[in-house]
Structure 1
Amino acid sequence: MRVRSGAGYPLLFAAPGLVVYACFVLAPILLSFGYSLTNADLFHTDTTFVGAANYLTLLADSGFLRSLRVTTILTLIIVILPNVGGVAVALLLDRRGWLYHTLRSVFFVPVVLSSVVVSVVWMALLQDEGLINRLLGTRIGWLSDPDLALYSIAFVISWQMLGFCSVVYLAGLQAVPDTLQEAAKIDGAGPWLRFRKVTWPMLAPALTLNTVMLLITGFKAYDHVQVLTAGGPGLGTTATLAFDVIQIGFNQNRTGLSSALAILMLVIVATVSTLVLRLLKRREVDL
């Protein structure tokens, strides 16, 4: 009897996903790269090839360097705050009972909300005459002060991502074998020592996942910036790379330059994410 080979079945099952990936990920990237080598704009069809001129223009532009600095600061805060807060919340909710199950759902609600909805709510709270200032009895310009606006945006994004990090860390905590905790307790280890020597090393995969996700979230931040500050106050004090991509492409109608900035942002995100992923994966192996 002739047995039919099943070697081609995996490719057949993967074909729909590959087609979607090619159409909605690879094709836009290639199209953007093509545009980045031209002087294309939205309203003129006489597009000419300019080579690397758009990239050289961006690298020599102080606005690009400012946006890169803003994005870097924003990303660092977004990586740190939800990771630290996520571990704390996960440790508090790592208990049995209907109350803790309910609280897990409550903490995860902001994650599934639209970024625009979250930003609108926080904009009302953070205004000069908003609820937070009224409760504090002050008039702090959370969004109108150039020295505070970026940190306010970072806080809002971190607050929204806290639930995601908490769920991932909670899953990691529940995967820690009870036998390890009991053995450490028998050896006389206190709560802090058990966390540092047993729990935290077992959370290494959760840390890797959360850090990479937060890195990508920080670098592609646009919705919160647009709604909360529109890149201000002042000249680009909260303008991120993603914000500048939209502004240059649609407000200034410079599609070629905007595409070049998008490609640069893609290269930066891919490079940083790969380096961080390799570093954290190596840490997992060492632990």
Structure 2
Amino acid sequence: MATLTARVAKRRSSTRFWTVRRRDNLVGYLLITPQLVGSLLFVLLPLALVGWFSLNEWNVLAGTFEYVGLDNYAKLVADQQLRDSLSATAIFSAGLVVLNLTLALLLAVLLNQKLRGTVVFRALFFSPVLVSLVAWTIVWQFLLQPSGGINALFGGGPNWLRNSGTAMLSVIVVQVIKNVGLNMVLFLAALQGVPKQLYEAAQLDGAGAWTRFRRITLPMISPTVLLTSIITVVGSLQVFAQIAVLTQGGPGTSTTVLVYYLYQQAFPFHHFGYGATISVLLFLIVGALTLLQWRMRRKWVFLET
């Protein structure tokens, strides 16, 4: 009898512990565990290792791993070629962001009209997003050759990828054409969510097309503008494959952006510690620009307080 009473009491205690709320919490934790483990192994752990490597000098060929403290960061401050790569990165990012967002918004506004063939053009402009980046870049490398592609079509032209005045512009245009379709689709979705009544009321009040666009369209799609600007800025700072295939950082160092300079230091030159230091710098730049855009959103994003 005592044993039976003890079993009943134990079962009741177990039932009280596994409440509905605790069961729901357990299910939630189990569902996020794979993502959490993946983030720890493939995001946080690599970040910590990069920080550690930046404090050391690792020579793979000699098999040495020496702690150097802040020497790599001191080298970072004195590196003139790093300043050149930062300048090239700024030029590339500014050109890419301005051209990409402007062209994407223009295409979205045009394709938002009720005209014949808009579905075909939407697919046409979005299709480059689906193409392999390396394959896309190799095709454009052929098109931009001095005696082929574009120059052959127009009967001559500059050496697009070996001229310091056109190399950076060529890389920017190739990247804009590749990814403009993604931002176009995001803008198009935002435009279709703008209430038609606002345009009708503004038109009755005598507002022109430009006024309606500036006073209604831009404020209503401003959250999407914020999203696309953050995505585009972060993407522009991480460009690598286009530079590696098209220009290899040349002519000279005119297209040696930060990520390509990082690659040069870490792999061809085997300065892994200094390469990790440049990675830390890149992380700080991306984080600072993202935070700056996020903090500034209250000044121009609609409904932000």
Shared fold by TM > 0.5?
yes
Partner of 1:158: 176
1:30 CA displacement: 0.9
Q: Among 236, 255, 267, which residue is 1:250 paired with? A: 267
Partner of 1:187: 205
Structure 2 gap segments, 5+ residues each: 1-14
Task: Say whether residues 1:75 and 2:93 are aligned partners.
Answer: yes
Counterpart of 2:54, as a letter, is S
Look up the match of 2:66: 48
Decide which structure has the larger Cα Rg and report it. 2
Distance 1:215 1:259 in 2: 22
Partner of 1:199: 217
Distance 1:112 1:42 in 2: 37
Residues 271-286 of structure 1 correspond to what in structure 2 (within 5 A)? 271-285=288-302
Question: 1:97: Cα distance to partner?
Answer: 6.6
TM-score, with structure 1 as normaliser: 0.94
- Cα distance in 1 for partners of 2:67, 2:202 equals 66
Instruction: Give the letter for the 2:20 counterpart.
Output: R
Instruction: Please state whether the residue corresponding to 1:47 is helix, strand or coil.
Output: strand
* Identity percentage of aligned residues: 32
Distance 2:297 2:141 in 1: 35
Residues 27-67 of structure 1, C-alpha deviations (whole Å, 9 max, x = no match): 11111111110011222333111111111112201010000
How far apart, in 1, do the equivalents of 2:148 and 2:221 lie? 39
TM-score normalised over the length of structure 2 = 0.89
Does the 8 Å contact 1:208/1:281 carry over to 2?
Answer: no
Distance apart, 1:143 and its partner CA: 0.7
- Range moving further from structure 2, 24-33 or 8-17: 8-17
- Equivalent residue, structure 2, for 1:220: 238
Structure 1 residues 96-245: aligned runs within 5 Å: 96=114, 99-234=117-252, 236-245=253-262
Stretches of 4+ aligned residues off by more than 6 angstroms: none
| Contact 2:147–2:156 (8 Å) recurs in 1 | no
Query: What is the deviation of 1:98?
Result: 7.0
- SS, match of residue 43 in structure 1: coil
Matched, 1:14 2:32: yes
RMSD: 1.7
Pick from 7, 17, 20 the counterpart of residue 4 of structure 1.
20
Extract unaligned runs of 5+ from structure 1. Answer: none
Which sits farther off after the overlay, 79-88 or 98-107? Answer: 98-107
Residue-by-residue CA offset, 1:72-126 (whole Å, 9 max, x unaligned): 1100011100110011100111135772122212211111222211111111111
Distance between the aligned counterparts of 1:19 and 1:135, measured in 2? 53
